[in-house]
Amino acid sequence: MSEEEKTGLIGAHILLNALQQEGVDVIFGYPGGVLLPLYDALLDSPVRHVLARHEQGVVFAADGYSRVTGKVGVCLGTSGPGATNLVTGIANAFLDSIPMVVLTGQVPTSSIGSDSFQEVDIIGITMPITKHSYLVKDARDLPRIVREAFYIARTGRPGPVLIDLPKDVLAAENVIPFSNEMKLKGYKVFGQANNGKIEEVVKVLSESRKPVLYAGGGVVTAGAEDVLRQFIDKTSIPLVTTLMGTGSLPFEHPNSLGMVGMHGTVTANYAVDDCDLLIAVGVRFDDRVTSGIGHRFATKAKVIHIDIDPVEIRKVVKTDIQIVGDARQVITEMLEVLPAFPVPQVTEWWNQLHDWKANHTLEYDKDRLTPQMVIQCLGEVAGGETIVTTDVGQHQMWAAQYYPAVNPRNYATSCGLGVMGYGLPSAIGAQIARPNEKVVVITGDGSFQMSIQELGTIAQNQLPIKIVLLNNGVLGMVRQMQKMFYAERYSQISLQGSPDFVKVAEAYGIHGIHVNSLEQVRGAFEEAFSHPGPVLVEIAISENENVLPMVPPGKLITEMIVR
């Protein structure tokens, strides 16, 4: 090699440069042996690295970062256990269509396949839960691979893309990279040429008397909230949302009927069951909505399905009109066509909906400390614009029912996979992404203990996250189901042995507040939000609280348990 060819750049430099080209400002990661060349190069790179306390925290932080920005989140773990610890978070991002680039270390190419120390076939393990993956064999390919990975992650239906990085590729010396020109002949982004169908949908809508709009994560991904709102205001159509669609229409908007499905509102579920036209946008008729009985879902309705992923069309529910496309683009086109058709006559339908709304409001006892009251009070103190992340369980559903979210980019929760332990690290990602905004985690004592070590990350980075911990001493959602469907035979739901959470927080240098009466709740939240640093507010609630309404598994969405 001649003098001119000694670039002084190792593979890790090429990787970091390529990441910068993609606009990456932060990587959530955890180091390890095979990543040493990369961690050495990071010392001289402007790309920020945030160290979590477990690789699962790393990937959830990248997920939270992505949900609150719409950008591609980036996480990094070492080979073997580092990579396998990322798996749950990759699955989570895959099921909720979150754009993410996952970097994993790998043993040197010459050792691959020999069961060497900290070696796993992470490409093989993650094949069903990644949109695509790469094993880098030549450092010169890194610019192209990184560019392709980001492009695939964020376009079409987004998802996680994994890049496996053998140590020798990261350490390769004097790399003269190949062009970063993408070679993606096989990759297709769908969503053009729906001419004719748009008019058909608007015509069907204009003739409908009981229409319902059913919106989910696809609306959020497309950034279609504003056009969705215009469409709703112009047509007076009521809206039901999935958990993924939380906030796509402000909570208080009169056309919002709330969440649909298993723990949805009575009105939303009745409306979907009784409507004559269901316009589904960016949803996949998940079994938490349809009870897994797609053929008995919205049976009186003509069903229109708008989704960017052709695979979702006719997967669960037989539909009458299908449009493959980006939600924002399709709704915008519908708005353009709208004036050519009469406004749908929905006055009677709204009378019916108001009737249901009036008779089936979400209710709880006002004279004692209840989780519903806690969430409602939190919403009043924090405001709808605060970034909320939640964990998984009863508190997640109470948050969905009572938190007055107004912006879907300010709401992050694990939907498809339902991962306990998601809330705290995703709040870390959200706070790093938007350092000047209020971030609050709503969690439970079960979920919290699955990521409790991330308090260290919060303390190290002095992130002013407010943690609202609803402590009932049990795995509440499991308990609720054992209570309702297993004759109150409680099995393995007690979390006796949990620590004093306020003391745990204090051990990390985080301010802790304990609440055990109705009167203390508001004051505790006010104190938390006036405190400049992180705060944990632990609230003792009864283990007897249930999330209602509830559609029992396998039942129609009209067969709700209401009280």
* Catalytically annotated residues: 55, 117-118, 167, 477
CB of 391 to other proteins, least distance (A): 28
Asked if 135 interacts with other proteins (CB under 8 A), we say: yes
Gap between the Cα atoms of 447 and 193, Å rounded: 45
Asked if 138 interacts with other proteins (CB under 8 A), we say: no
Backbone angles phi, psi at 419, to 5 degrees: -95, 115
Tell me whether the omega of the peptide bond preceding residue 549 falls within 30 degrees of 0, making it cis. Answer: yes
Strand order in the sheet with 211-215: 256-259, 239-241, 211-215, 277-281, 302-307, 321-324
Gap between the Cα atoms of 75 and 72, Å rounded: 10
CB of 441 to other proteins, least distance (A): 33
295/563 with CB nearer other proteins:
295
* Identified binder of other proteins from the candidate list 36, 51, 184, 338, rule CB under 8 A: 184
Letters for 102-131 (x = contact with other proteins by CB under 8 A, - = none) are ---------------------xx--xx--x
Q: Which stretch binds other proteins (CB under 8 A): 60-68, 182-190, 327-335, 345-353?
A: 182-190
Three-state SS for 432-470 is HHCCCCCEEEEEEHHHHCCCHHHHHHHHHHCCCCEEEEE
User: Could you tell me if residue 177 is left (phi over 0), alpha (psi between -120 and 50 degrees) or otherwise beta?
Assistant: beta
* Identified binder of other proteins from the candidate list 185, 295, 366, 489, rule CB under 8 A: 185
CB of 127 to other proteins, least distance (A): 5
Asked if 295 interacts with other proteins (CB under 8 A), we say: no
135/268 with CB nearer other proteins:
135
* Identified binder of other proteins from the candidate list 178, 187, 251, 350, rule CB under 8 A: 187
CB of 63 to other proteins, least distance (A): 21
CB of 353 to other proteins, least distance (A): 33
Beta strands in 97-159 (DSSP E): 100-106, 132-135
Residues 25, 27, 32, 33, CA torsion sign: negative
Gap between the Cα atoms of 274 and 340, Å rounded: 27
Do 220 and 245 contact (CB within 8 A), yes or no? yes
CB of 363 to other proteins, least distance (A): 42
308/334 with CB nearer other proteins:
308
Gap between the Cα atoms of 550 and 191, Å rounded: 36
CB of 130 to other proteins, least distance (A): 10
Q: Which amino acid is present at 85?
A: N
Q: Which stretch binds other proteins (CB under 8 A): 97-105, 181-189, 286-294, 448-456?
A: 181-189
CB of 201 to other proteins, least distance (A): 21
Residue numbers 139-158 binding other proteins by CB under 8 A: 152
Letters for 231-260 (x = contact with other proteins by CB under 8 A, - = none) are ------------------------------
Burial of 136 (0-12, 13-18, 19+ CB in 10 A): buried
Count residues near other proteins (CB under 8 A): 19
Q: Which stretch binds other proteins (CB under 8 A): 17-25, 167-175, 306-314, 409-417?
A: 306-314
Asked if 188 interacts with other proteins (CB under 8 A), we say: yes
6/314 with CB nearer other proteins:
314
145/439 with CB nearer other proteins:
145
Burial of 46 (0-12, 13-18, 19+ CB in 10 A): exposed
Asked if 377 interacts with other proteins (CB under 8 A), we say: no
Gap between the Cα atoms of 550 and 557, Å rounded: 9
CB of 432 to other proteins, least distance (A): 30
Gap between the Cα atoms of 383 and 371, Å rounded: 17
Element (H, E) at 26: strand 26-29
CB of 315 to other proteins, least distance (A): 7
165/275 with CB nearer other proteins:
165
Q: Which residues contact 59 (CB under 8 A, 6 or more apart)?
A: 28, 75, 77, 86, 88, 89, 90, 92, 93, 100, 102
Tokens of 320: 């009458």
Residues 250, 252, 253, 255, CA torsion sign: positive
DSSP state, 531? S
144/357 with CB nearer other proteins:
144
Do 337 and 199 contact (CB within 8 A), yes or no? yes
Asked if 132 interacts with other proteins (CB under 8 A), we say: yes
Residue numbers 307-336 binding other proteins by CB under 8 A: 309-311, 313-315
Strand order in the sheet with 132-135: 48-51, 26-29, 73-77, 100-106, 160-166, 132-135
Asked if 518 interacts with other proteins (CB under 8 A), we say: no
157/466 with CB nearer other proteins:
157
Three-state SS for 8-20 is CCCHHHHHHHHHH
161/420 with CB nearer other proteins:
161
Tokens of 331: 């709704």
Q: Which stretch binds other proteins (CB under 8 A): 96-104, 110-118, 180-188, 289-297?
A: 180-188
36/184 with CB nearer other proteins:
184
Residues that bind other proteins (CB under 8 A): 123-124, 127-128, 131-132, 135, 152, 184-188, 309-311, 313-315
